[in-house]
């Protein structure tokens, strides 16, 4: 399929603002970098300018059955109007590729284990990891599970992406990043879309890391200390720990290079009944927490046909809208975080490394022969071994243990149909229809909240969650006995569900969502409760709530963790071992209102103290490699402190000298760190000078490309435990995790919603929409996205796609 070359681009689009924007970029660079870029700046500017998307005029695209209108509003949000779904999804693929083609290609390569082909040997370990996990194999197995209608939408979307690729190649107008790396993207396939979907299941986790940590811990510390870090272990935990001791694997070095999802990946969402709102209709708010990069992980879009009008966000590379609203309903998600991954210790046949014991017999494993292409080198032959439980994940790092191996069973490695559900969300008109669509959403399990103008608010924890014959996913289990197999999944009609509760609102923040009386096991690992507690505080005390109240709550920086633990710190004020600067730091905390605001020094002291506590408590007993796999570290530290403060210190606290010594040692380390980064005058310390968001571009690790592609760093309030979630790198202070998208919906008017996407819509450095939303995103601002043509076509750019 060969689309014709564009007829025209307007001068406004092609000539005026790109040049001004380039010189603003160059003016922001250091002199040395400018001189280094001078030789190539002409070519670089030409290529970046040439790759800007056509946003006005007309383009002919082979495959369309009728004309499609694409209006981009003042923030670059495309409103795609088509006469049928074929043209709609073809156009969505084309338009998304215009803004995000490099991101899309990188996403499918990462999930498929194909990065080495374009970036070289440095990505080989990552490629081995994802080849072993087999996200692309799982996506391929899922293709046949889709209905003809949903499969068609995947194919139509791929047609649109390929129309863009062919046009960009013909016009030498691919994004500049492809030129830097020296390759061109191959054609898009439906399989690429599903593979990206499987990667999101990986990114939202299933707690294999915590199981590996528990396994390693059992090899290195006493049973008493192992249990002290796992208060949720059942009564038979010592037996499981002994099984781990009896079947050792060297996991510390093995998983040093494993790809580990951010343990704070999650979200906030809530719905409020019309009985508590000013409009008399429900309010819905959602802010998913994932990595924060340039471009955003989210792409905001409005899709329209004569029978459908849906608006919200989607991952670049996937058709439809996964989070948002249509003319009748609105919905949002957070991560349930259930235990959907089990690690099995497999006994290998010493005479045949591809056979593993099961109930007294040797079973042959499946061996998949992979070939990993490496830029500048010969391709690498790589084998993946799959037992009855799943892939041997201990082999990606060349584990050659003769007797045992570690296999993983995971719901996402089975065929699943999440994008079928996405297509059905768009057409649902009430709770029953939306709930029916959820039957197709299997992995990752998500907390869905729902609202409709008829007053209904609802919640459901939805997805495949295993029922285990024995064990609770707290640690790797023997795979050869048959005792620890799955016995199916929690029945769909028994998944946690709430409709129109008496409290008048429903909120989730990756917290524990069921009581101890719930008959099925969900998870051993939950987020710290502080975000949900703060949301509950505000919503339970509020009446006549408005969208402004919801926006304010999404950006709320109240730190309830600090409120709980600062008294422990202040008890240290009279300790003779404290230095003068330590007391000055405590003075900042004594007057603090427990808000992580950028202009205060107290948040710097508390958050650095909180980050030092695990180091004080667990090192050197826990190695650096295993430290990164300690997924439940934050909750565990909180619990150790609580127990100690209540007079029941565990062995970890006792061995470090008791609670007072632990608190004081971490404080002094935090103060030393604060002095290192902001000087020795605590009165001048500012959280915002440390806690800054860089929105790194994928090529930013190659200096000086960071100065070209990264937006300027911006200070940000909040922290890991505030509703305004802003996780940060403890070594640099850089914010790397949070709500890349925030939305607030008043069901009284579904024609407009309040949204913000950080840093912006476009992946092209010269686009006015590359980082134009950073100010709003970092200060609690929003833009209005309207689905009313009278609104978005007033000041928008209009592109017509014709057959």
Residue 9's pLDDT band (boundaries 50, 70, 90)?
very low
Q: How confident is the model at residue 231, as a pLDDT?
A: 54
Q: pLDDT at residue 238 above 90? A: no
Q: Are strands 783-786 and 446-451 parallel, antiparallel or unpaired?
A: unpaired
Q: What is the average pLDDT score of the chain?
A: 90
Domains annotated on the chain, with CATH: 560-693 (1.10.1400.10)
pLDDT digits (tens, 9 = 90+) for 546-600: 999 999 999 999 999 999 999 999 998 888 889 999 999 999 999 999 999 999 9
Tokens of residue 417, six digits: 């149909």
Using pLDDT thresholds of 50, 70 and 90, give the confidence band for residue 794.
Answer: confident
Which pLDDT belongs to residue 394? Answer: 80
Predicted confidence band of residue 46 (pLDDT cuts 50, 70, 90)? confident
The residue whose two tokens read 């061109």 is 184
Residues 6+ apart with CB under 8 A from 520: 465, 467, 490, 494
d(CA 723, CA 557): 6
**CB under 8 Å to 359, separation ≥6 — which residues?**
480, 481, 482
Name the percent of the chain lying above pLDDT 70: 90
What span, in angstroms and rounded, lies between the C-alpha atoms of 300 and 78?
Answer: 8
Whether the upstream peptide bond of residue 759 has omega within 30° of 0, thus cis, is: yes
- What single-letter DSSP state applies at residue 684? G
**pLDDT of the residue at 156:** 98
Task: Over range 180-197, report the average pLDDT.
Answer: 97
> Judging by beta carbons within 10 Å of its beta carbon (0-12, 13-18, 19+), is residue 703 exposed, middle or buried?
exposed
Task: For residue 756, give the nearest of 321, 287, 360 by alpha carbon.
Answer: 287
For residue 558, the cross-strand partners are 595
Q: How far apart are CA 155 and CA 188, in angstroms?
A: 9
Could you give the CA distance from residue 409 to residue 476 in angstroms, rounded to a whole number? 11
| DSSP 8-state assignment for residue 510 | S
Evaluated on CA atoms 474, 475, 481, 486, the torsion sign reads positive
Total Cβ atoms within 10 A of residue 302: 22
Question: Which residues fall within 8 angstroms of residue 139, CB to CB, at 6 or more apart?
Answer: 191, 194, 195, 197, 198
Contact 382, 132 (CB under 8 A): no
Band of residue 446 on the pLDDT scale cut at 50, 70, 90:
very high
Q: How many angstroms separate the CA atoms of 557 and 716, rounded?
A: 10
* Residues flagged as binding site: 339, 342
Residue 482: strand, helix, or coil: coil
Binding residue positions for Ca(2+): 339, 342
How many CB atoms neighbour CB 152 within 10 A? 16
pLDDT grade for 12, boundaries at 50, 70 and 90: very low
Contact 693, 734 (CB under 8 A): yes
Question: Among residues 485, 473, 414, which one has the least CA distance to residue 443?
Answer: 414
Asked whether 139 and 419 are in contact (CB, 8 A), the reply is no
Tokens (6 digits) for 711: 């937006």
Contacts of 680 (CB under 8 A, 6+ apart): 581
pLDDT score, position 227: 82
Mean pLDDT to the nearest integer, 380-389? 96
| Rg of the chain taking only CA atoms, in angstroms | 27
How many CA atoms are closer than 13 Å to the CA of 463, on its beta-carbon side?
Answer: 26
pLDDT band at 626 (very low <50, low <70, confident <90, very high): confident
pLDDT at residue number 212: 83
Pairing of strands 341-349, 477-478: parallel
Name the pLDDT band for 256 (thresholds 50, 70, 90): low
Check whether 731 has a pLDDT greater than 70: yes
Tell me the two tokens of residue 31. 């002199």
Q: Above 50 in pLDDT, residue 3? A: no
| Residues in contact with 187: Cβ distance below 8 Å, sequence separation at least 6, in sequence order | 158, 162, 165
Reported as a pLDDT band with limits 50, 70 and 90, residue 261 is confident
- pLDDT value of position 255: 66
Look at residue 220 and tell me whether its pLDDT is greater than 90.
Answer: no
CA–CA gap between residue 541 and residue 414 (Å, rounded): 44
State the number of CA atoms in the 13 A half-sphere of 116 facing the CB: 21
Range with the poorest average pLDDT among 322-326, 514-518, 753-757: 514-518
- Looking at the DSSP bridge assignments, the partners of residue 57 are 799
- Tell me the C-alpha distance between 312 and 624, whole Å: 40
Burial class for 674, CB neighbours closer than 10 Å (0-12, 13-18, 19+): buried
Lowest mean per-residue pLDDT among 39-53, 273-287, 526-540, 655-669: 39-53
Among 270-274, 289-293, 392-396, 506-510, where is mean pLDDT lowest?
A: 392-396
* pLDDT (mean) for 237-257: 63
Bridge partners (DSSP) listed for residue 65: none
Please tell me the number of Cα atoms within 13 Å of 763 on its side-chain side: 29
Percent of the chain, pLDDT > 90?
Answer: 78
Mean pLDDT computed over 511-535: 94
Vertex 510: Cα angle to 738 and 291 (nearest 5) = 25
User: How confident is the model at residue 352, as a pLDDT?
Assistant: 93
Q: Residue 176 — very low, low, confident or very high, per pLDDT cuts 50/70/90? A: very high
Q: Greater confidence, 14 or 163? A: 163
Which strand (E) or helix (H) includes residue 32?
helix 31-50
263 or 558, higher pLDDT = 558
Query: What is the pLDDT averaged over residues 261-281?
Result: 90
Q: What is the largest CA-CA distance in the chain?
A: 81
The pLDDT confidence band at residue 33, using thresholds 50, 70 and 90, is very low
Q: What is the pLDDT of residues 391-434, one digit of tens each?
A: 998 865 444 556 888 899 999 999 999 999 999 999 999 999 99
Residue of 477 and 428 predicted with greater confidence: 428
The pLDDT value recorded for residue 438 is 98
Q: What is the mean pLDDT of residues 59-68?
A: 95
The answer to whether 683 is a known catalytic residue is no
345 pLDDT more than 70: yes
Mean pLDDT of 133-137: 96
Arithmetic mean of pLDDT, 180-195: 97
**Active-site annotation holder among 107, 112, 116, 267:** 267
pLDDT, residue 401, reads 58
pLDDT at 50: 87
Helix (H, G, I), strand (E, B) or coil at 378: strand
Banded model confidence at residue 244, pLDDT cuts 50, 70, 90: low
pLDDT at 58: 95
Output the pTM of the full model. Answer: 0.93
pLDDT at 483: 94
Q: Are 698 and 296 in contact (CB under 8 A)?
A: no
């Amino acid at each position: 399929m060969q689309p014709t070359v564009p007829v025209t681009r307007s001068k406004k689009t092609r000539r005026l603002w790109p040049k001004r924007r380039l010189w603003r970029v160059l003016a922001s660079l250091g002199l040395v970098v400018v001189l280094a870029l001078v030789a190539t700046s002409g070519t670089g500017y030409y290529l970046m300018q040439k790759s800007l998307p056509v946003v006005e005029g007309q383009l002919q695209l082979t495959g369309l059955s009728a004309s499609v209108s694409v209006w981009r509003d003042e923030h670059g949000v495309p409103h795609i109007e088509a006469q049928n779904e074929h043209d709609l999804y073809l156009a969505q693929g084309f338009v998304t590729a215009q803004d995000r083609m490099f991101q899309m290609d990188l996403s499918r390569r990462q999930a498929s284990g194909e990065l080495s082909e374009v970036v070289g040997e440095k990505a080989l370990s990552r490629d081995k990891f994802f080849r072993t996990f087999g996200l692309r194999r799982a996506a391929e197995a899922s293709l046949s599970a889709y209905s003809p209608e949903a499969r068609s939408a995947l194919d139509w979307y791929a047609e649109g992406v390929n129309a863009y690729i062919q046009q960009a190649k013909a016009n030498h107008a691919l994004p500049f990043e492809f030129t830097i790396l020296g390759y061109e993207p191959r054609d898009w396939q439906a399989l690429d879309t599903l593979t990206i979907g499987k990667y999101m299941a990986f990114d939202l986790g299933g707690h294999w890391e915590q199981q590996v940590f528990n396994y390693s811990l059992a090899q290195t510390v006493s049973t008493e200390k192992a249990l002290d870090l796992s208060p949720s272990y059942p009564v038979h935990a010592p037996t499981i720990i002994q099984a781990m001791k009896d079947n050792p694997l060297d996991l510390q070095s093995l998983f040093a290079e494993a790809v580990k999802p951010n343990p704070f990946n999650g979200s906030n969402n809530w719905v409020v009944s019309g009985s508590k709102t000013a409009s008399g209709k429900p309010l819905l708010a959602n802010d998913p927490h994932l990595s924060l990069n340039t471009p955003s992980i989210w792409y905001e879009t409005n899709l329209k046909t004569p029978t459908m009008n849906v608006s919200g966000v989607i991952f670049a590379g996937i058709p439809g809208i996964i989070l948002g609203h249509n003319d009748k309903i609105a919905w949002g998600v957070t991560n349930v975080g259930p235990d959907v991954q089990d690690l099995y210790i497999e006994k290998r046949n010493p005479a045949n490394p591809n056979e593993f014991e099961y109930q007294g017999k040797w079973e042959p494993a499946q061996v998949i022969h992979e070939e990993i292409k490496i830029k500048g080198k010969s391709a690498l032959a790589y084998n993946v071994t799959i037992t009855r439980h799943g892939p041997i994940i201990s082999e990606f790092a060349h584990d050659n243990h003769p007797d045992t191996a570690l296999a993983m069973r995971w719901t996402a490695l089975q065929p699943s149909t999440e994008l079928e559900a996405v297509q059905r969300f768009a057409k649902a008109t009430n709770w029953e229809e939306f709930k029916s669509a959820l039957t197709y959403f299997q992995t990752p399990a998500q907390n869905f909240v729902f609202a409709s103008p008829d007053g209904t608010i609802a919640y459901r924890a939805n997805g495949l969650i295993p029922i285990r014959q024995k064990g609770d996913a707290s640690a790797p289990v023997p795979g050869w006995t048959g005792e620890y197999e799955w016995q199916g999944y929690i029945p769909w009609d028994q998944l946690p569900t709430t409709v129109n509760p008496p409290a008048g609102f429903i909120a989730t923040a990756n917290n524990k969502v069921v009581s101890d009386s719930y008959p099925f096991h969900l998870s051993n690992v939950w987020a710290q409760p502080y975000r949900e507690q703060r949301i509950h505080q505000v919503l339970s005390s509020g009446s006549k709530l408005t969208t402004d109240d919801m926006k304010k709550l999404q950006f709320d920086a109240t730190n309830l963790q600090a409120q709980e633990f600062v008294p422990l710190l202040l008890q240290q004020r009279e300790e003779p071992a404290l230095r003068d600067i330590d007391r000055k730091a405590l003075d900042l905390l004594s007057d603090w209102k427990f808000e992580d605001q950028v202009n205060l020094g107290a948040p710097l002291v508390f958050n650095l103290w909180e980050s030092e506590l695990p180091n004080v408590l667990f090192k050197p007993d826990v190695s650096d490699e295993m430290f990164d796999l300690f997924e439940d570290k934050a909750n565990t530290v909180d619990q150790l402190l609580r127990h100690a403060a209540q007079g029941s210190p565990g062995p970890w606290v006792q061995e470090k000298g008791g609670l007072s010594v632990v608190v004081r040692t971490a404080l002094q380390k935090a103060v030393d760190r604060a002095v290192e980064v902001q000087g020795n005058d605590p009165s001048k310390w500012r959280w915002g000078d440390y806690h800054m968001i860089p929105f790194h571009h994928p090529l930013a690790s190659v200096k000086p490309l960071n100065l070209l592609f990264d937006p300027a760093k911006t200070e940000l309030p909040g922290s890991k435990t505030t509703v305004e979630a802003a996780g940060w790198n403890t070594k640099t202070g850089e914010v790397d995790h949070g709500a890349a998208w925030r939305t607030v919906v008043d069901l009284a008017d579904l024609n407009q919603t309040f949204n913000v996407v950080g840093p912006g819509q476009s992946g092209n450095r010269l686009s006015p929409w590359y980082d134009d939303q950073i100010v709003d995103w970092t200060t609690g601002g929003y833009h209005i996205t309207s689905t009313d043509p009278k609104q978005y076509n007033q000041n928008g750019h209009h592109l017509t796609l014709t057959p």
